[in-house]
Amino acid sequence: MFSDQIKTKCSLPYSLYPAQQIKQFEGQAAASVDRSLYDLMKCAGEACYQVFNMYFPDAQRVLVLTGRGNNGGDGYVFATHAKRAGLSVQLCHMGDPSQLTGDAKLAKQNWLAEKGAIEDIEQIDFATADVIVDALLGTGLSGPLRVDYQRLICKINQSDKPVLSVDVPSGLNADNGTISDVAVKAVATITFVGLKQGLFTGRAAEYCGQIYFSGLGITDQFALLAKSDVTRVTYQQLSRLLAPRNRVSHKGSFGRSLLIGGNIGMPGAIRLASEACLRSGSGLVKVLTRSENQDVVMAGRPELMLAQIDVDTLDNTSLLNWATNLVVGPGLGHDEWAKKLFSVAFATDLPLVLDADGLNFLAENPARRDRWILTPHPGEAARLLGCSVAQIEQDRLTAVKELQLIFGGVVVLKGAGTLICDGKRIYIANVGNPGMASGGMGDVLSGIIGGLLAQGLDLLQATMLAVCIHGMAGDLAAEKGERGLLASDLFPYIRKLVNPK
């Protein structure tokens, strides 16, 4: 067989593709090395069996669910390998197997030659299966699921059996990570030729489980034909940006960050952002907040400085000249005090991180500039684009591109599979966990971005690395449990991650 080494989380490729692009070029890539599409199908079925053995070494009875098209063909090849290995295999086909054509028909014939049986979906025996292999739809999903597929997928999910999905969990959109009705909840997914972009954002994390990859021996040839504008980013890849500090450095060597926010009743947001900025390595951090909140902001963190200034004379002082970068928005509020601060900060040409209420002001006063970083969650993104949250989540990749096109700079669309767009490419960071769905996490991210900007990273570098550090810190902190995870729990891990070995 020609299948190459199975790649796991730490070794997955970086480039991501829409499903149609993979379909368009995989045949050409195979032909360039004198391979047929049926060779690829055999390799895909073999790779699926290899992952099955790795993930379920003790399984003896496997239920294989196949459908029309090449995804079903992959399932037939897998079933043939499993039967030859002595496993008990029940293969059930959705629809009429006599309608299979091309390579999938050849795979079916080889299964029958092994004296394998093809049963109707109604004959499924969930109770005796150790593992279910989902080869129903893959990337063949287009539009809403038929009712019979919906019913079957619901039964799969209700069976409480572990599922290995082939290429894409059935029901999941391979391009944007959404589901229209239901989707198979797999514990592992093996995907082929090129990584599908929809496996890494949106609701994909809920359905894919552990992702494995096989290039089927044509990885290099495919990469020469297909051009990707979506890329995964990881901390391991980006941590090289954090070079060891010069031995004769001083605090002025690492920037002066001014953070603006913390209206009455909201001191925590600006405190979290400011401490995150310090912990990320900014040389000096000054906080401009309501006088009523100054004691709370400073409590327990004397390294922070306060901007002692009357907001009405802010634009006539040297404070903004002091700063090398700004973070505006955490706990800013929406009153006259907040409006004044926003307008003054907005008028500068300093590198600017805009978050929270700063984004709400931007939604009311749209503008475009190059030297800022916008960090909306889906609700803020919806306000910026004048649409619903559901529309944002329906196609996150398109949403982040539209945000960047309209507002410029670098845009972060937060959420599961955080997206970063600079107008040229989209970057996806698969870090973080549900425990981070708590107040203050976004403020910490803004502070990390500000801290990295202060140290000389450019807007895109600072954003990508900050998103990775933030998510990894959350994952490390969640090792003690996701429920009850606080934003401030990330600080020890942030310090560790900004000092790579």
Give the domains, in start order, of the chain with CATH numbers: 9-228 (3.40.50.10260), 236-243+251-497 (3.40.1190.20)
Residue 499's identity, in one-letter code, is N
In whole angstroms, give the CA distance from residue 281 to residue 261: 20
In whole angstroms, give the CA distance from residue 54 to residue 429: 26
Query: Tokens 């799969």 identify what position?
Result: 156
pTM of the model: 0.94
- Burial class (CB within 10 angstroms; exposed 0-12, middle 13-18, buried 19+) of 308: exposed
Q: Give the N- to C-terminal CA distance of the chain in Å, as an integer.
A: 40
Sheet containing 426-429: order of strands: 195-196, 15-17, 230-232, 426-429, 418-421, 410-413, 372-374, 352-354, 325-328, 256-260, 284-288, 305-306
The half-sphere exposure of 280 on its side-chain side, counting CA atoms within 13 A, is: 37
In whole angstroms, give the CA distance from residue 192 to residue 208: 14
Work out the angle at residue 2's Cα, subtended by the Cα atoms of residues 83 and 204, and round it to the nearest 5 degrees: 75
Residue 492's identity, in one-letter code, is P
pLDDT tens sequence for the chain (501 residues): 445 678 877 789 999 999 999 999 999 999 999 999 999 999 999 999 999 999 999 999 999 999 988 999 999 999 999 999 999 999 999 999 999 999 999 999 999 999 999 999 999 999 999 999 999 998 877 778 999 999 999 999 999 999 999 999 999 999 999 998 899 999 999 999 999 999 999 999 999 999 999 999 999 999 999 999 999 999 999 999 999 988 988 888 899 999 999 999 999 999 999 999 999 999 999 999 999 999 999 998 999 999 978 787 777 788 888 999 999 999 999 999 999 999 999 999 999 999 999 999 999 999 999 999 999 999 999 999 999 999 999 999 999 999 999 999 999 999 999 999 999 999 999 999 999 999 999 999 999 999 999 999 999 999 999 999 999 999 999 999 999 999 999 999 999 999 998
Of the candidates 352, 258, 346, 274, the one whose C-alpha atom is nearest the C-alpha of residue 309 is 258
SS (H, E, C) 247-291: CCCCHHHHCEEEEECCCCCCHHHHHHHHHHHHHCCCCEEEEECCH
